[in-house]
Amino acid sequence: MPLLAIETTCDETAAAVVTQSRAVLSSVVASQEQLHARWHGVVPEVASRAHVERIVPVIDEAIERSGVSRDALEAVAVAVRPGLVGSLLVGISAAKMIAVAMERPLVGYDHIAAHLYACRLAAPERMRYPCVGVVASGGHTSLLHVTSPLELERLGGTIDDAIGEAFDKASSLLGLGYPGGPAIELAAKDGDSRRFRFPRPLSRDRNTLDMSFSGLKTALRYQVRPPGAAADTPPPTGQLLADLAASFQQAAVDTVMAKVRLAVEQTGCDLVAVGGGVTANTLLRETLTAYAKDARLELVLPPRELCTDNAAMGAIAWERIERGEQDSLDLEVVPGLIRGSR
């Protein structure tokens, strides 16, 4: 019998139906990209309201597409942390309601762990533990030592902006759209990534697995509009735009890769599992693939639709159910990360 998973941590309203053998029977994602585009980033209040409007139709569609009857659902799983508090509350309220009405167990799960669990869904035969986990998204950039699907120790991560947030802000500075990642990737296609040497903070510091992206964003800002330039300076176009986008993208990828290499060295793990929206980026995927080949590591890289936010990765709730765990109706959302910074 399958479970229903619900995901509303940020700006995607998602629901999925997944069997205990981890077969994804349906996965529906309603993106709010267009709603947030004019603000060049997620507006929490707008996100919560949109979740309220969409959550019921999205759940209904996931159940309908799965081909199973409502009665056949065995449990209700929901992402409870980390995320935007208003967004999380919509998902958890819906999950509780369904769990009560249908008398089914309620099972909360961690969104970061779920991003890495997408690797288990994508390649069950290759995924194993312990491994190094890399989660790169709009809200997080974390390196983790993963000893089981539910046991993750944070090794390091960003000390300021998340990498996806940097892509989104850079895209806005370049006059491109939201979400920034795909827009920058497209603009960078024919660009020269060596034309501008943007900073890669902490990359050479072998004493830390932390990284920083805010200086990269500021460097791009000054390149686009130097101090003293008129506020209405038009955004770059043509080859200049392509070179700026390519140089920015290369610096962001280099910054993460430096710490992925160091994490592998320090942990001695021979498998790297990745997840999060930014891992949909072609340059990052190619760089990780080349590195894994070179270093003779196993790399598990989910398909793009499992990298960005979705509820299929809520299949991780089965790991808790199989341990005999479930949550009471007192389950609460936890907006921030449990340990340390992001």
The footprint of ligand KG4 (CB under 6 A) covers 10, 137-139, 164, 167-168, 179-182, 185, 276-278, 280-281, 308-309
Of 137, 212, 255, 281, the residue at the interface with Zn ion (CB under 5 A) is 137
Our CB check for Zn ion shows the closer of 110 and 309 to be 309
How far apart CA 45 and CA 34 sit, in angstroms, is: 15
User: Which of Zn ion, ligand KG4, none does residue 185 bind (CB under 5 to 8 Å by kind)?
Assistant: ligand KG4
- 299 forms beta bridges with 272
7 binds Zn ion (CB under 5 A): no
Inter-CA distances, 40 with 34, 132, 262, Å: 10, 32, 33
Quote the least distance from Cβ 143 to ligand KG4, whole Å: 16
279 binds Zn ion (CB under 5 A): no
Which tokens is 154 given?
Answer: 């944070």
Quote the least distance from Cβ 292 to Zn ion, whole Å: 23
Q: Are 197 and 248 a contacting pair, CB within 8 Å?
A: no
User: Which of Zn ion, ligand KG4, none does residue 168 bind (CB under 5 to 8 Å by kind)?
Assistant: ligand KG4
User: Which of Zn ion, ligand KG4, none does residue 201 bind (CB under 5 to 8 Å by kind)?
Assistant: none
Choices 34-42, 92-100, 133-141, 186-194; region in contact with Zn ion by CB under 5 A: 133-141
Q: How many residues bind Zn ion (CB under 5 A)?
A: 2
Quote the least distance from Cβ 137 to Zn ion, whole Å: 4
Determine the 3-state secondary structure of 322 from DSSP. helix
Quote the least distance from Cβ 39 to ligand KG4, whole Å: 13
What DSSP designation does 241 have?
A: H
Our CB check for ligand KG4 shows the closer of 10 and 99 to be 10
309 binds Zn ion (CB under 5 A): yes
Our CB check for ligand KG4 shows the closer of 10 and 75 to be 10
> What share of residues in the chain are helix, strand, coil (percent, to 5)?
45, 20, 35
Our CB check for ligand KG4 shows the closer of 104 and 161 to be 161
Our CB check for ligand KG4 shows the closer of 15 and 280 to be 280
- 134 forms beta bridges with 143, 274
CA atoms within 13 A on the CB side of 332: 4
Quote the least distance from Cβ 31 to ligand KG4, whole Å: 9
How far apart CA 44 and CA 88 sit, in angstroms, is: 11
Our CB check for ligand KG4 shows the closer of 2 and 182 to be 182
Would the CA dihedral through 26, 47, 326, 109 be positive or negative? positive
Interacting residues of 177 by C-beta distance below 8 A, sequence separation 6+: 37, 171, 183
How far apart CA 13 and CA 57 sit, in angstroms, is: 10
- 298 forms beta bridges with 271
Interacting residues of 324 by C-beta distance below 8 A, sequence separation 6+: none
Which tokens is 16 given?
Answer: 């999925």
Quote the least distance from Cβ 249 to ligand KG4, whole Å: 8
Our CB check for ligand KG4 shows the closer of 2 and 276 to be 276
Footprint on this chain of Zn ion (rule: CB under 5 A): 137, 309
